[in-house]
Chain A
């Protein structure tokens, strides 16, 4: 017999095939983070990609913007069951940052100001699938939402979109980051409900 809770019918909204399983649509934008919100100034902001040779490729704020900021409208999905659809962002496509990075490694650890880390396969960051985002909803990113710059990887659960991003380190293996060491899925595809492991 299928399980049901007595008396529950729920708020039926029009089924939306853009909502992954187990997700609920929200209009506002909740904040989730594990510790203090770092205060990062764009004057001192620096972004580094470290490849397997130990070479650092780095950008300051102006150099980042000079790569070309584009408008993107994406859906975001948080593992805590909320999704926001058609959210306008502005950011720099990661392909542009990786244009001169040669690597055999297939995995990346994202590092944030404040110490947060999250692991992402390189293929999930390239080919127009991820950005360094600097604006959302038409305004510069608030610190509590990861400003001045956060990773934006909208096709994965949103903990992969590391706030306060400061760098990416290429890795030969898919080592777990912060939440991945604390019970969350190594990959985090919302359409496959890769929430926990």
Chain B
């Protein structure tokens, strides 16, 4: 058992940058002087308070893993109370509150294992997996990393430039475009299949540690196929976003 960690506290965060990440999401860069840092893959509670004291809270995965700074990728949910506000209304200089870091299970830690790591993302589920890939690169960790990213179109790729910069000897990135591929794309366009999953992920005999993040339907489908392909349930961690 791990030793008990610090109880997560509320921190005041100042928005230093907000920009469209995809057609229906925004990236929020938060300056949080009191933030102790977080492990790659954790999440935070974001709390918004109205002038009359009304409050509401939602959980979001963190795309970074460093002290003093938190980057979020916020997918706008139709009729949402919080995500449309964060995506459309918030601007640089605004303040909000975050609590965390939360969760110490769906995380990647440098030096913990020399086994290869397979990341599998559906849509905005890439956020915590991007944090792991970036932490892996920053730590010069020698374990093999591979990311499979199922996404609607090239425009819907989160952290496109950063992922392009990370791709290389330490990180292989495979894209599955479900609706529309970039010009000149030689692969198929359409939903992930068991065969394409098998051909774009680390083979079962290599005993990769596998992190899956996406919608419930995506995670259920992918994990069922991973087990059928011969991966062990013990090696698979999932994070499903339900949204509110």
Chain A residues within 8 Å of B, Cβ to Cβ: 2-12, 22, 24, 26, 30-38, 80-82, 114-115, 144, 176, 178-179, 181-183, 196-197
Contact = CB atoms under 8 A, between A and B. Distances in A.
B220 A181 contact: no
Given A3-B95, A81-B59, A183-B104, A9 B54 contact: yes
B57 interface: yes
B172 interface: no
Contact of A10 (B81, B95, B237): B81
Contacts of A178: 105
B240 A5 contact: no
Contacts of A6: 94-95
A3 B7 contact: no
A183 B103 contact: yes
30 contacts: A5-B96, A7-B85, A7-B90, A7-B94, A8-B50, A8-B85, A22-B55, A22-B57, A30-B216, A30-B243, A31-B216, A32-B240, A34-B106, A34-B237, A35-B237, A35-B238, A36-B223, A36-B227, A37-B223, A37-B224, A80-B59, A82-B242, A115-B234, A181-B1, A181-B2, A182-B105, A183-B8, A183-B104, A196-B8, A197-B4
B53 interface: yes
Interface string B211-232: 0000010001001101100000
B118 to A, nearest CB: 14
B161 interface: no
A36 B81 contact: no
B174 interface: no
B66 interface: no
A135 B82 CA distance: 32
Nearest to A30: B242
Contacts of B4: 197
B242 A80 contact: yes
A4 B5 CA distance: 29
Nearest to A31: B216
Given A6-B94, A35-B237, A26 B244 contact: yes
Nearest to A26: B244
Nearest to A3: B49
Given A8-B49, A24-B57, A31-B240, 6 more contacts: A26-B244, A34-B106, A35-B236, A81-B244, A114-B233, A196-B99
Nearest to B7: A197
B interface bracket (residues with beta carbon within 8 Å of A)? 35 or more
A32 B242 contact: yes
Contacts of A4: 49-51
Given A33-B240, A35-B238, A8 B48 contact: yes
A31 B243 CA distance: 10
A26 to B, nearest CB: 6
B57 A36 contact: no
Contacts of A3: 12, 49, 95, 97
A81 B96 CA distance: 17
Contact of B233 (A5, A24, A36, A183): A36
A24 B58 CA distance: 9
Nearest to B216: A31
Contacts of B8: 183, 196
B89 interface: yes
Contact of B220 (A26, A30, A37): A37
A82 B244 contact: yes
A196 B101 CA distance: 10
Interface in B172-227: 216, 220, 223-224, 226-227
Nearest to A2: B53
B121 interface: no
B55 to A, nearest CB: 8
B149 to A, nearest CB: 20
Nearest to A13: B81
A112 to B, nearest CB: 12
Nearest to B93: A6
